[in-house]
Structure formats: C-alpha cells, structure tokens
Structure 1
Amino acid sequence: MATAGQAGDGQMAGSRRDPVLQSLVDKVVAGPNPNPGAFLLARRGSDDRFGAAGVADRPAGTPMTPDLKFRTGSVTKTFTATVVLQLVAEHRLRLDDTVQSLLPDQVRTDNALSGAPITIRQLLNHTSGLYDYIDGLLPHFRRLDQFWPRDQLISIGLAQPRYFPAPGTRFRYSNTNYLLLDLIVERLTDRDMRTNLERRVFAPLGLHDTSYPLAQTAIDGPHVRGYADVSLLLPDAADPTRFDVTAFSPSEAGASGALVTTAADIARFYRALLQGRLLPPDLLRRMLTDTVPTTGSAPPAVAYGLGIYVYATGCGRAYGHGGSALGYLTFALNSRDGHDQLVAHTNWNSFMDTGIDEDFWAAFQRGYCGRPG
C-alpha cells in the first residue's frame, strides 16, 4: 500500500525515478556493503528526481523511499543556528556575546569555561575548543532508549580540558557547542528549543513532517528503521553489525542532532533559508561567509560557517550539512540560491566510526553534480 505523498510504485508524488540516481543507490546497497537501504532526492528548481534502493525495514521488507521519516543527526545544527541568528536579528543576542556572560552558572573553576571567554560565533562555527561530549558517553551508557538530560551531557563536555586553549584559532567539531546554544536560547526566550523551532521554522515553512523529539524514542508515522554496528555496545546481541537501533533516544543529541524529518522537508528548509525567508540578508551572508577552514574534515567539506558547511564539489560550491545519528546517515547539499539540491540518506552507520562507505560517499557527491538520466 502506498503511504501518504507516495505514488503506487514507491516513488514520491510529483517526483520521477532517475536512472542515474538509481544506479548510484543500487551500488550503496549492493554486497558486501552493510547498508539495508538508501535514497537520493535531487531537485533542480521544480524538477524532482530520485533513486531509492533496498529496504527501510529489514524484517518487514518495506522498500526504502524518500518520503519516509528518519533521524537527521547533525543536519539539526543548521536549524538550531537559524534560531540563534534570528535572535541576533532581533537584537536579543550578539555574535560576540560570551558564554560566560550568558551562562554564569555554568562556569566553575574546575571546568572548561574557566578559561578564555568563548563567544556565540565560536560556538556556532566550532572554534570554541570545547571537548565533544559524544566522545565521553560510553562509560555512561546503560541501554539504547535511556534518556540523556542536557545538563548531564553539558557536564561531560565541560569536565574535560579544551582541545586548544585559545578560542577562535582553529576548527574542532564539538556537539557540546550546540547544547550550550540550546541552553542560551532557552534562557533568552523562556521557551525550549522545540517550541522555538516549531514557531520560528517548522510552522512558517509548513514542515509538517518535521519534529524535535527528545523523550520520545518511537518515530510517528511511516519511517525508516535505523541499523548500526553495535558490537562495542551490545556484544552479545543477535546480528550486532546490523542491529536495529531505531529506539535509540534522540535526547543523546538534543539541539546538535535530534530532528526527525523527511527529505522533502530538509530540501524545503534549505531552499527557504538560502533564499532569505528565515534570516535578513546580512545575517544570511554572515552564516555562509563567516567561515573557518575545516582542517581534518573529509572532502568535499572545505569550510564551516555559522551552523553550515561549505562543500567544494565537482560542480562548484555547495552549502548544507551532514548528519550521523546512530543507525542513520544523511547529507544535504544546496547551491547558493537553493535552486539545486540533493538529500542523500542511508539507514546504516557504524558506532565504531569506521568511516563512510565509499559507495555512499560517491553517491551523494555524484548525485548532486550529475545530470539527470
């Protein structure tokens, strides 16, 4: 049975299956790759094309399609950064305001905020030097669906020394930055991040399939199930290299990566953002051009702005973000004017951080630059 917004052959309504995109995703799910399913959704103005292969649900055999919901991981950061920059536009926050002045209760002599002041800009562009709390989670892990309080995650991030003492001197990706931004937004607006996202982004853009769940581990509606190599976490699990981790709590990511959405909603968000519907021109320009080199990042990433990556692709610069949530891997690439877009997704990744498989890596880059078949 076709789901809402989906044609009877498994494609999205108004979208056409493209042979070039299809050949790319077919390679992603072909053996010996562990990926159960994958899709590419490409948009050139009003022309929508896609390729989809494999399954969204292994036991049920549900085909993978671009209209299903999935966890986006760090694509969330561009949404969070948009809310922060809207507060800057409203003169409720400045990019040079410091974390220490905004969150004095978080500063202690024995944590990482006791050093040199860190600004909002440095949180947004990952030049704060703060330790990434994700790297310190394993000793605290008890079960997949456990709830992770934001204060606990921030404490893990601030308990370790900074990666480098002088903020603003170089790039070092850290999810701790975006949890601090979450707390700052909540303090300034007296509303949590979910409410801010719903009022400032989701509702104005009509992102009806996008949500920001924290305590809820189930995904509402038709969705992709995520699979991961959990050999380190659950060594005695059946089939630990492709274990169903759909119920992993999004509270582990919060404002750095908790969104659930669809490919169409991601594309709609980035097009609206890049065409100036969410930020005034000067702040959108800063978001895209106030960048730092992403030293150590895998290509095509070359720079990071205020919550958005700059990619050097074979067909010019692109803007967007990648996202890795346990069991899900997503990339969104967009031209500067939002006319050309690609959303790529696969429902497998490795907790062991063995890297992105070459076929998926090639698929999203070639899919963005390739001509339709």
Structure 2
Amino acid sequence: MASAGRAAEAQSAGRHRDPALQALVDKVVDDPNPNPGAFLLARDGLTDRFGAAGVADRATRMPMAPELKFRAGSVTKTFTATVVLQLVAEQRLRLDDTVQSLLPDQVRTDNALSSAPITVRQLLNHTSGLYDYIDGLLPHFRSLDQYWPREQLIGIGLAQPRYFPTPGTRFRYSNTNYLLLDLIVERITDRDLRTNLERRLFEPLGLRDTSYPLARTTIGGAHVHGYADVSFLLPNAPDATRFDVTGVSPSEAGASGALVTTAADVTRFYRALLQGRLLPEPLLRTMLTDTVPATGSAPPVVAYGLGMYVYATECGLAYGHGGTAPGFQTFALNTRDGHHQLVAHTNWNSLVDSGIDKDFWAAFQQGYCSDPR
C-alpha cells in the first residue's frame, strides 16, 4: 500500500495544490473531528486544483489523495437515472409509465404497491412516498460483509406503509425508489444494471476506475479506506468510533449507492452529462428542471430533479449529488454547462443520525465557490 500511496502523491504533484482548498480540508481533519482524511478536487475546464489532508488508510498512513478510488454512495443515483432516461430517449420507457404496469409481479395486496399508482418519474424524483428500506435494515443485520439480495431489500421497502398516500405530492428521499428502477431497467433491456452502466456510461466515457460491484467487498487498486462509528452495531469492536468498514458489502446499496469510482471519473461523467453527450437536450433539461422542493434537506440543497440535486450556493445554482456509504461521504457539484466542478470526499461518517459533519459540509460549499488561485 505504501507504493500505491507514493504513486497517488506523484499524480497529485502534477496538479495545482490550492491554498484555499487546502485550508478547508485541513480543518476537516483537525482534532477533535473524527475524519481521518479529506480532499477537494476543483476542475475548471482543463485546469485542476486540489487540497488533500490526513490519511486514506490509518493502518499504513497512506496519504489522502484525489486519485484514490472510493465508495461514492448515492452519487450512483445520477448514473442510474441517466440509464433510465436513455431508455426514455430510445422510446422503450415513458416517465409516466407506472411501476404497477412495468413490474406487475411486485404488486401484492399486502404491500405498498397495492394502492395509488406510482410512475417512473416519481421514483426518479423521490415523490413516490415509498418507505426507505435503509431504515428497516437493522433487524436483518448479521455482519458488515453480508450479501443483501435486491429482492430482500425491495421487500423491506414495500412491506411498510407509504410515508404519504398520494404519490407526486411531496419529496421524501427513499432508496427503495432506485432499486425498483434497477429492476425496471433489467426487465426492459434483459440485461442487469451493471451491464447497462458499463456499455452505456463507463466504456463510452473511458471511466476506467469506475465499477459497480455488488458481491465484491474489497476495492481493487489504490483506494481510500472508510471509517465509521459502529458502536451501536459492534459495541465490543476495538476503536469502534473509527472502525474500518471498507469491506462492507455494496449489495446493501445496489442501484441507490454501490458505485466505486474516483474524483476524475465523477467529474468526467457529470461534464459529459451536462454538456449533452449522454442525453438529448430536451430530456437533459427535464432532468434538471422537472424538480420538486427538497423538503427536509439541509441548505444549500433546494430541489431534486430526476436523479439530480439542485444546490443554491453563494456563487449560483449547482447541480449534482451527495453520497454516503458506510465510512465514506462525497459531494459532486457542477455548473449547468459542466465547466466548473467540485468533488469533495471524506473517509468517515457516523452510521447513526448524529447531525451534519459541519466542517466537511462547509468545505464542499466554500470549496465550490472558491476562486482559482
């Protein structure tokens, strides 16, 4: 791992280390914050600047660097949504098609699909009202590396009552929505989501460091290690508040958050998307402007489109997504034309709802609006 760390440092040396970004990430890792490491990568056209602080691996002391792979969490949702919208562009799917018509075998008299119809659009923008299966995982937990079948996760999400009875009336973030989209993509294309992501996005865009693992709990190549507070799950674990959870099974997230990637690949994807290279312009406009108020989200989030957050920053509207996976937290923000971009990452989070990581939250907002030096 030491050699991988040196290679990452060497690559970072070819970029401009920006004092303003560096000051922000230094604050993220300063005591008493529990974050082992953090980075900010800003891209303006062909120019990159960054700040990186702390370590990517506490055991080897490998320095944090923006070239390392990490689990991207819900940033995955924009990738999944793009595949769905490509199927819309190909006229193989309509935004107003209902889940009940597309997945009739999922409808049962005793589950949440038995009442008012839910559309593909409402899955994409989190207005379905469906219960978030993440909130119901704890009774089923056995170990961090256990494999979670998609059918089990969907079943957990559909077994509970809806958050509200009438779809489309308000926003309520639910990962269950994107597992159903995964199933819809598979039914329509007769290929799993991984194959669709690889053929439609990863390969055409040259995202060589991006993958969609489900069964694999390890990350290949030089990567960030993620740390979390597992004291409520594994109270006897050593160093339970900063426990290495890198080996958690990505099957727990699936289409809602299983992506492994790098900052460079994230910026390449969003730039291609926002510059109209992945979707026809009218459909891209719908993705960004067919929004609902993101009720309950912390500022600068103001709205949610079709797999895309809208952020009202001090320097104007930004588009992208945040992502949390056990031990990892990421934000990707972009201007409408994809010219100015920021990826922010830290390798710690709390598995319990203990509030916002204030210094990291400030870092991604201030970093996005910082001027190039």
Instruction: Decide: shared fold, TM above 0.5.
Output: yes
User: Partner of 2:268 in structure 1?
Assistant: 268
Corresponding residue SS for 1:144: coil
User: Partner of 1:236 in structure 2?
Assistant: 236
User: Partner of 1:199 in structure 2?
Assistant: 199
For the 8 Å contact 1:349–1:356, the answer to whether it is kept is no
What letter is aligned with 2:269? F
* Deviation (angstroms), 1:357: 1.5
Q: Distance in 1 between matches of 2:148 and 2:210?
A: 21
Corresponding residue SS for 1:186: helix
Question: What aligned pairs does 1:4-153 form with structure 2 within 5 A after superposition?
Answer: 6=7, 9-12=9-12, 14-153=14-153
Query: Is 1:178 the equivalent of 2:215?
Result: no
| Deviation larger for 12-21 or 268-277 | 12-21
For the 8 Å contact 1:202–1:210, the answer to whether it is kept is yes
What letter is aligned with 2:306? L
* Deviation (angstroms), 1:15: 1.7
Query: Is 1:277 the equivalent of 2:277?
Result: yes
The TM-score with structure 2 as length reference comes to 0.98
Corresponding residue SS for 2:147: coil
For the 8 Å contact 1:14–1:48, the answer to whether it is kept is no
User: Partner of 1:327 in structure 2?
Assistant: 327
User: Partner of 2:259 in structure 1?
Assistant: 259
Q: Distance in 2 between matches of 1:235 and 1:333?
A: 36
Query: Is 1:354 the equivalent of 2:354?
Result: yes
Q: Distance in 2 between matches of 1:214 and 1:231?
A: 25
For the 8 Å contact 1:6–1:67, the answer to whether it is kept is no
* Deviation (angstroms), 1:259: 0.2
User: Partner of 1:249 in structure 2?
Assistant: 249
What letter is aligned with 1:252? E
List per-residue Cα deviations over 1:247-299 (Å, max 9, x = no partner).
00000000000000000000000000000010000110000000000011001
For the 8 Å contact 1:77–1:257, the answer to whether it is kept is yes
* Deviation (angstroms), 1:3: 4.3
* Deviation (angstroms), 1:200: 0.1
Corresponding residue SS for 1:349: strand
Structure 1 segments, 4+ long, off by >4 Å, are 1-7
RMSD: 1.2
* Deviation (angstroms), 1:44: 0.9
Q: Distance in 1 between matches of 2:118 and 2:7?
A: 47
What letter is aligned with 1:353? D
Q: Distance in 2 between matches of 1:221 and 1:355?
A: 32
Q: Percent identity?
A: 80
Q: Distance in 2 between matches of 1:203 and 1:372?
A: 31
* Deviation (angstroms), 1:16: 1.1
For the 8 Å contact 2:98–2:117, the answer to whether it is kept is yes
List per-residue Cα deviations over 1:280-326 (Å, max 9, x = no partner).
00110000000000011001100000000000000000000000000
Corresponding residue SS for 1:342: strand
List per-residue Cα deviations over 1:147-177 (Å, max 9, x = no partner).
0000000000000000000000000000000
| Deviation larger for 347-356 or 51-60 | 347-356
* Deviation (angstroms), 1:10: 4.5
User: Partner of 2:292 in structure 1?
Assistant: 292
Q: Distance in 2 between matches of 1:5 and 1:112?
A: 51
For the 8 Å contact 2:5–2:63, the answer to whether it is kept is no
* Deviation (angstroms), 1:13: 6.0
For the 8 Å contact 1:228–1:350, the answer to whether it is kept is yes
Corresponding residue SS for 1:113: coil
User: Partner of 1:155 in structure 2?
Assistant: 155
* Deviation (angstroms), 1:6: 4.9
For the 8 Å contact 1:5–1:13, the answer to whether it is kept is no
* Deviation (angstroms), 1:372: 2.6
Q: Distance in 1 between matches of 2:106 and 2:95?
A: 19
For the 8 Å contact 2:5–2:62, the answer to whether it is kept is no
Corresponding residue SS for 1:202: helix
List per-residue Cα deviations over 1:321-365 (Å, max 9, x = no partner).
000000000000000000000000000000012123211011000
Q: Distance in 1 between matches of 2:207 and 2:224?
A: 18
* Deviation (angstroms), 1:4: 9.6
Aligned residues: 372
Q: Distance in 2 between matches of 1:56 and 1:298?
A: 27
Corresponding residue SS for 2:158: helix
Residues 149 and 323 of structure 1: CA distance in aligned 2, closer, same or farther (over 3 Å)? same
